[in-house]
């Protein structure tokens, strides 16, 4: 059986549209030093580092080597992990696996991105097949627009339903000093914003952000010395599928009862392992990788908060607002900050802060269980659950 | 821009090119040759689950078996989902801004079980529908690429 693992330190840069005052290594160092200080540790206490960012976004490879002075990994084991949009959550999962294995007691997980350094859509396109995808594929915005059209067709959801999510996320961000966008929007503002790729408008999409995040994962033994209340990892699951960019819209999946197989499958697996039978009742707060507004409708269904097509009504009831049954993205989420390689890890960091009661003006009262997700590429999914109580055992 | 920001130096990657040479594989090459020389689509059938993959590939992921049986599929099909792309971005294949707007859809060809992503000859989203019938229109000059298909034309509006 694996060791039980907790988060005891978090560091995060303020998320900004552009950080020309630092290079990648210097940006990484800001988050790394903050996380170590938060955990009451020094560089010499760290046994290993896991780091990740998006392939091709900065056009500079080998972050695991050139960042060692900034990441703290100098002459230590370090591993680069890059899985697209899920990079930040996969970095967290890899750090968790390191510690749960019993081979490492204290591991520093780092996710970062300088999205300002390239054309995001152009960079994303290079992740895909040069024959079948690249000549036509128009990156994340258009890919998500295809999902939104299909979702509206299947459920009757509207652009206004999605705009509700966009407004909610930006309102939440007003409470988060780390968020990139601080915008007090109305549904009308979102509806009037220009189409990027119908039905997705400017107001529905995440921004491009520069930022870094670092999180300290420690074993149950090392957690005893922690100055912070440990935020325990209850379990993690992930699923990748689909080879080409047109695969996720497969009717076979829908006919077979799967709308978003990777997320539905990973959520079910993790809920079963951890004992979540009613997510809306049992999960106190969720930090979800919602890259655009329609995700805040559809993914609530995929995560089991409600049935198929019931997302818009549940969202508009305020269940996921601050003060609602399960507030989603008190931080303002991905629609308010998206330094992609850091984004998934920020979801994890925000869950830890919520469990520790350290989330400031965005704190949800008395958080016992928190959910984080990562989303990426051809609709794949990482999912992680955190708890205030030490679990009976570690679950992978 | 603030005085402080003006003093911060950035550089452009410039005109640098990094050429690659990718392989389409045996079946991918066959698909592209059929497009180029005959304006025809070819798929491949899984011996275990019977699913027809377009473009043809060597392995069926769920069955994890090798595929060998090439089968013809239609140049007509239906729209599964669609959008109209209107934001500007850099096409990494050319380094230039992709001309917008354009219709963009996931298309199921008759006889295929998988989907293709391609252009549609319509930029008004109100005129495109899920389930609408489409047909491939080919370029006069073809080079063995997905862009040998100019776009899919809507057969009903
Ligand atoms: Zn098969």
Q: ipTM score here? A: 0.95
Cis peptide before A312 (omega within 30 of 0): no
Percent residues over pLDDT 70 in chain B: 99
CA A154–ligand 1 middle distance (angstroms): 27
Percent residues over pLDDT 90 in chain A: 88
What DSSP string runs through A138-190? -HHHHHHHHHHHHHHHHH---HHHHHHHHHHHHHHHTT-TT-S------HHHH
Distance from CA of B94 to the nearest CA of A (A): 10
Which residues, at least 6 apart from A192, have a Cβ–Cβ distance to it below 8 Å? none
- CA nearest B150 in A: which residue? A136
Answer whether A136 sits within 8 Å of B115, measured CB to CB.
Answer: no
Structure tokens at A67: 């960042």
Catalogue all structural domains in chain A, each as residue range(s) with its CATH number. Answer: 5-120+210-223 (3.40.47.10), 137-206+235-387 (3.40.47.10)
Distance from CA of B79 to the nearest CA of A (A): 11
Q: Which residues of A touch B147 (CB under 8 A)?
A: 135-136
Q: Which residues of A touch B79 (CB under 8 A)?
A: none
CA A164–ligand 1 middle distance (angstroms): 41
Which residues, at least 6 apart from B24, have a Cβ–Cβ distance to it below 8 Å? A131, B31, B32
- How confident is the model over A175-187, as pLDDT tens digits? 999 999 999 999 9
Q: Choosing among B29, B83, B126, B144, which should be mutated to test the A contact, i.e. which has the most A CBs within 10 A? A: B83
Threshold 0.90, pTM exceeds: yes
**pLDDT computed for residue B5 by the predictor:** 74
d(CA A362, CA A351): 11
d(CA A136, CA A125): 9
- How confident is the model over B2-40, as pLDDT tens digits? 777 778 999 988 777 788 999 999 999 999 999 999 999
d(CA A230, CA A226): 7
Cis peptide before B55 (omega within 30 of 0): yes
Q: Is B49 on the interface with A (CB under 8 A)?
A: no
In degrees rounded to 5, what are phi and psi of residue A210?
-105, 130
Q: Is A26 on the interface with B (CB under 8 A)?
A: no
- Is beta strand A200-201 parallel, antiparallel or unpaired with respect to A195-198? antiparallel
**Can you give the C-alpha Rg of chain B in angstroms?**
20
CA B145–ligand 1 middle distance (angstroms): 26
- Other Cβ atoms less than 10 A from the Cβ of A323: the count is 8
**pLDDT computed for residue A303 by the predictor:** 97
Residues within 8 A of A (CB atoms), B 14-33 only = 20, 22, 24, 28, 32
* pLDDT above 90 (res A315): yes
Answer whether A153 sits within 8 Å of B130, measured CB to CB.
Answer: yes
């Amino acid at each position: 059986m694996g060791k039980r693992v907790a988060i005891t330190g978090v560091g995060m840069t303020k998320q900004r549209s552009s950080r020309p005052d630092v290079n990648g290594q210097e940006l990484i160092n800001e988050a790394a030093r903050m996380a170590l200080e938060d955990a009451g540790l020094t560089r010499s206490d760290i046994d290993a580092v896991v780091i990740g960012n998006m392939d091709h976004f900065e056009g500079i490879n080998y972050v695991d080597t050139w960042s060692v002075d900034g990441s703290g990994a100098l002459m230590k084991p370090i591993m680069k992990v890059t899985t697209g949009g899920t990079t930040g959550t996969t970095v967290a999962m890899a750090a968790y696996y390191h510690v749960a294995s019993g081979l490492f007691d204290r591991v520093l997980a780092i996710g970062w991105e300088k999205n300002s350094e390239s054309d995001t859509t152009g960079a994303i396109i290079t992740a895909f097949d040069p024959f079948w995808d690249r000549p036509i594929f128009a990156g994340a915005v258009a890919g998500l627009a295809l999902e939104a059209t299909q979702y509206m067709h299947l459920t009757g959801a509207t652009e206004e339903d999605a705009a509700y999510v966009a407004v909610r996320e930006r309102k939440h961000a007003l409470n988060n000093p780390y968020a990139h966008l601080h915008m007090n929007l109305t549904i009308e503002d979102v509806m009037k914003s220009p189409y990027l790729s119908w039905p997705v408008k400017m107001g529905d999409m995440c921004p491009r952000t520069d930022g870094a995040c670092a999180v300290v994962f420690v074993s149950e033994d090392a957690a005893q010395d922690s100055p912070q209340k440990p935020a325990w990892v209850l379990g993690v699951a992930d699923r990748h599928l689909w080879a080409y960019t047109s695969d996720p819209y497969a009717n076979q999946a829908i006919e077979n009862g799967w709308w978003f197989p990777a997320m539905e499958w990973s959520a079910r697996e993790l809920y079963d392992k951890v004992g979540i039978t009613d997510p809306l009742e049992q999960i106190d707060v969720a930090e979800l990788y919602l890259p655009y507004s329609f995700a805040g409708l559809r993914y609530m269904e995929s995560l089991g908060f409600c049935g198929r097509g019931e997302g818009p009504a549940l969202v508009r009831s305020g269940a996921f607002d601050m003060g609602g049954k399960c507030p989603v993205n008190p931080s303002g989420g991905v629609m308010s900050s998206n330094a992609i390689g850091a984004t998934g890890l920020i979801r994890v960091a925000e869950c830890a802060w919520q469990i520790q009661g350290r989330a400031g003006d965005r704190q949800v009262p008395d958080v016992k269980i928190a959910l984080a997700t990562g989303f990426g590429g051809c609709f794949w999914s990482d999912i992680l659950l955190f708890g205030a109580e030490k679990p009976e055992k570690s679950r992978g | 821009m603030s005085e402080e920001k003006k003093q911060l130096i950035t550089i452009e990657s410039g005109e640098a090119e990094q050429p690659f040479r990718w392989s389409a594989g045996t079946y991918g090459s066959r698909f592209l040759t059929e497009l180029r020389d005959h304006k025809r689509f070819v798929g491949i059938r899984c011996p275990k689950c019977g699913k027809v993959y377009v473009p043809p590939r060597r392995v069926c992921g769920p069955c994890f078996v090798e595929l060998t049986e090439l089968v013809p599929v239609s140049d007509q099909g239906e729209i599964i989902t669609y959008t109209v792309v209107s934001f500007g971005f850099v096409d990494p294949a050319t380094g230039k801004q992709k001309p917008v707007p354009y219709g963009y859809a996931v298309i199921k060809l008759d006889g295929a079980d998988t989907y293709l992503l391609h252009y549609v000859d319509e930029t008004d989203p109100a005129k495109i529908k899920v389930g609408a019938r489409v047909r491939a229109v080919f370029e006069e000059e073809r080079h063995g690429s997905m862009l040998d298909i100019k776009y899919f034309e809507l057969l009903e509006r």
